[in-house]
Structure 1
Amino acid sequence: MPDLTLTKVAKSFGVNVVLHDLDLRVRDGELFTLLGPSGCGKSTTLWSIAGLHSPDRGTITFGDRVVFDGGRIDVAPERRNCGVVFQSYAVWPHLSVHDNVAYPLKLRKEKRSARAARVREVLELVELDRLEHRYPHELSGGQQQRVALARALAHPPDLLLLDEPFSNLDAKLRERAREWLRALQQRIGVTTVFVTHDQHEALSMSDRIMVMDQGRVRQIGTPEEIYQEPADVFVADFVGTVNVLAGRAVPGADGTARVWLDGLGLPLVVPTGAGLDGGAGIDGYVRLTVRPERIVVHPPSGAPADAVNVVTVKVRSRAFLGDHYRYVADLGERELVVRTLSPVDHGSELTVELPPDAIRIFGPA
C-alpha cells in the first residue's frame, strides 16, 4: 500500500475557508485519524483525498502517484482506487448483501466466477458470510456497517477512507465495532484514514492522530503524545477532560516557576520544561493544565511531608460514574475536577495534591 501525502492543500466554499494549506503524511499500513470538532475540516480533507472535492490548490499523492496537483491533475474518484465507508453506510436497499458487495466488481466487469469468489472472501473477512442473501432491512445497524466495509474492500483499495462509520451505533455496539475494525485493519494491512469527532475512538484505534481546528492542524502524534503531551490548550481540552487554570507565573532559579492563582494563598510549583517552548521566558500570565486522574487525593490526616502543591478544596458536587468518582471542587476562584477510583468521605473538603509532573504550562489565550 502507498503512503499518502497532502502538501499545502487549501479549500474554500465561497468566502468560507475550510482548509488552510494543510500538510500531512499517512504512512503505509497505518490507521491515521482526523480528529476535531464539527466544522473543523475533517470530512473536507477526506473527500479531497477521495476525489469528491477538488481543492483550490496543493498536491495529493498516493506513493509516487499524483492524484491532484492544482488545476493540472485531478484524477477522477473512480480511478483513485479508494474504498470509502460513509457515515450513513449507503447500502442499496433493493440489493442483497451479496449484490451490494459485488457491485464494485460488476462495474469493473470482472467475471461472474471471480466476483463470487471475492464476495465470499470479503464476507468471511467481515463475518457476514452466512447472511449474503439477506437484504439491508433484515440487518442490524452494525451488520449494515460491515456490509459497507465489505463493499469498500471488495476491489482491494490502495486506501480505505472511513467517515464516522460508527456514529449511528449505540455505545456498546460502537465499542465492539471499533475493536473489531482495528483488528481487521491490522490483519489486512490497508492504509486507512479515519474521520471522527469522538476522542475515545481516536485514542483506542489510531496509530497516529491529527487534531484539527478551523481547517488547521493543531497537532499530529501518537495517541499517547496527543493525550499526555498536548501541543496547546485546545488539544488538551478537546482530547479528554482537563482542568485549565489561569494565573501569573514568576520564574524560579531551580528549573521551576511559581504560578499564583486568583484566590489561592500559595503558588503552585511547575517545572519550566512542562510546556511553553521548553520553559523559555516563563514570566507573566499563563495557563496550566492538569488531568483529573493525575490529581492525588490524600486522607484527612494530611499529605506526606514531601508532597508538593497540596491544597484544601471545597467540594461542590460528587458523581458516581461506574468505574470512578468525579468530584467538582473550588480551587481559589477556579473550578477543579478530580477523578478517583474510590469514594472519599471527607465531608465538604478534600485535601488534594497537584503533582508538578502532571502539570503543563502554556501561554495566555
Structure 2
Amino acid sequence: MPDLTLTDVAKTFGDNTVLHELDLHVRDGELYTLLGPSGCGKSTTLWSIAGLHSPDRGRIAFGDRVVFDGGRIDLPPERRNCGVVFQSYAVWPHLTVHDNVAYPLKLRKTGRRERSARVHEVLELVELDHLAGRYPHELSGGQQQRVALARALAHPPDLLLLDEPFSNLDAKLRERARDWLRSLQQRVGVTTVFVTHDQDEALSMSDRIVVMDQGRVRQIGTPEEIYHEPADLFVADFVGTVNALDGQVVSATGRGGQVWLDGLGEPLDIDGENTPAGDVRVCIRPEQIVVHPNGAATAGVANLVTTKVRSFAFLGDHYRYVVGIGAGELVVRTPQRVDDGAELTVELPATALRAFPVA
C-alpha cells in the first residue's frame, strides 16, 4: 500500500478558508486519525484526498502517484482507488449484502466468478458471510457499517478513508466496533485515514493523530504524545479532561521552575522543558493528582495542598471529586472514597504540571 502526502493544501468556500496550507504525511500501512471539533477542516481534508473536493492549491500524492497538483492534475474519485466509508454508511436498501459489496466490482467489469469469490472473501473478513442474502433493513447498525466497510475493501483500495463511521452506533457497540476495525486494519495492512471528533476513538485506534483547529494543524504525534505532551493549551484542553488554572511562573530554568497559582499561598515546583516565564495557564490531568488520606505520612513530599471536597460523583471504577484550590477548582479522579465536605491533602506532582503562556 502507498503512503500519502499532502503538501501546501488549501481550500476556501466563499470567504471562509477551511484549510490553511496543510502539510501531512501518512506512512504506508498506518492508521492516521484527523481529530478536531466540528468545522476544523478534517472532513474537507478527507474529501480532498478522495477527490470529492478540489483544493484551491497544493499537491496530493499516493506514493509516487500524484492525484492532485494545483490546476494541472485533478484525478476524479473513480481513478484514485480509495475505499470510502461515510458516516451514513450509504448502503443501497434495494440490494442484498452480497450485491452491495459486489457493486464496485461490477462497475469495473470484474468477471462473475472472480467477483463472487472476492465478495465471499471480504464478507468473511468482516464476519458477515452468513448474511450475504439479507437486505440492509434486516441488519443492525453495526452490521450495516460492516457492509459499507466490506464494499470499500471489495476492490483492494490504495487508501481506506473513514469519515466518522461509528457516530450512529450506541456507546457499547461503538467500542466493540473500533476494536474490531483496528484489528482488521492491521490484518489487511491498508493505509487508513480516519476522521473523528471522539477522543476515545482517536486515542484507542491510531498509530498517529493530527489535532486540527480552524483548518490548521495544532499537533501531530502518537496517542501517548498527544495526551501526555500536548503542544499547546488547545490540545491539552481538547484531548481528554484537564484542569487549567491561572498562575505565574516566577522562576524558569529551561527545565522547570516555580509557579504561583492564583490564591495559593506557596509556589509549586514545576518540571518540564521550555516552561515559559510570566503569566500562564497551568494544566494537570485529574488522574495525575495524588490523594493522600488524612494521617498519611507526607514528609518530604512536594507540591502538597490541603483542601476540601466540594462535590463528588461515583463512576464505577473511580470517584470524581471537585475540590477547591486557591481561587479555582480542581477535578480529581481516584479510586479512594472521601466524604463530601471532608478535608484532604492532594499532591500535584511537578512532573505532571504543564504551563502554557497566556495568549
TM-score (normalised: structure 2): 0.98
Structure 1 residues 138 and 254: alpha-carbon distance in aligned structure 2, compared to 1, 3 A threshold:
closer
Identity rate, percent: 77
Selected match of 2:279 from 281, 285, 293: 285
Partner of 1:65: 65
The question of whether the paired residues in 2 share the 8 Å contact of 1:3 and 1:26 is answered with: yes
Cα distance between partner residues in 2 of 1:90 and 1:166? 13
Partner of 2:163: 163
Q: Letter of the aligned partner of 2:344 in structure 1?
A: L
Cα distance between partner residues in 2 of 1:67 and 1:16? 25
The 3-state SS of whatever aligns with 1:165 is coil
Structure 1 residues 213 and 254: alpha-carbon distance in aligned structure 2, compared to 1, 3 A threshold:
closer
Structure 1 residues 97 and 256: alpha-carbon distance in aligned structure 2, compared to 1, 3 A threshold:
closer
The 3-state SS of whatever aligns with 1:8 is strand
Selected match of 1:323 from 317, 321, 328: 317
The question of whether the paired residues in 1 share the 8 Å contact of 2:313 and 2:320 is answered with: yes
Q: Letter of the aligned partner of 1:247 in structure 2?
A: G
Note the alpha carbon deviations across 1:344-364, whole angstroms, 9 max, x for none. Answer: 237432210000011111111
The 3-state SS of whatever aligns with 2:346 is strand
Note the alpha carbon deviations across 1:129-183, whole angstroms, 9 max, x for none. Answer: 0000000000000000000000000000000000000000000000000000000
Cα distance between partner residues in 2 of 1:334 and 1:222? 31
Cα distance between partner residues in 1 of 2:70 and 2:138? 45
The question of whether the paired residues in 2 share the 8 Å contact of 1:303 and 1:310 is answered with: no
Cα distance between partner residues in 1 of 2:2 and 2:193? 13
Structure 1 residues 100 and 288: alpha-carbon distance in aligned structure 2, compared to 1, 3 A threshold:
same
Matches within 5 A, 1:1-365: 1-251=1-251, 256-273=256-273, 278-279=274-275, 282-345=276-339, 347-365=341-359
Cα distance between partner residues in 2 of 1:28 and 1:252? 41
Structure 2 gaps of 5+ residues are none
Cα distance between partner residues in 2 of 1:111 and 1:359? 62
Cα distance between partner residues in 2 of 1:272 and 1:163? 36
Q: Letter of the aligned partner of 2:241 in structure 1?
A: T
Note the alpha carbon deviations across 1:205-240, whole angstroms, 9 max, x for none. Answer: 000000000000000000000001000011111110
The question of whether the paired residues in 2 share the 8 Å contact of 1:59 and 1:66 is answered with: yes
Structure 1 gaps of 5+ residues are none
Deviation of 1:283 after TM superposition, in Å, equals 2.5
Structure 1 residues 175 and 252: alpha-carbon distance in aligned structure 2, compared to 1, 3 A threshold:
closer
Structure 1 residues 255 and 70: alpha-carbon distance in aligned structure 2, compared to 1, 3 A threshold:
closer
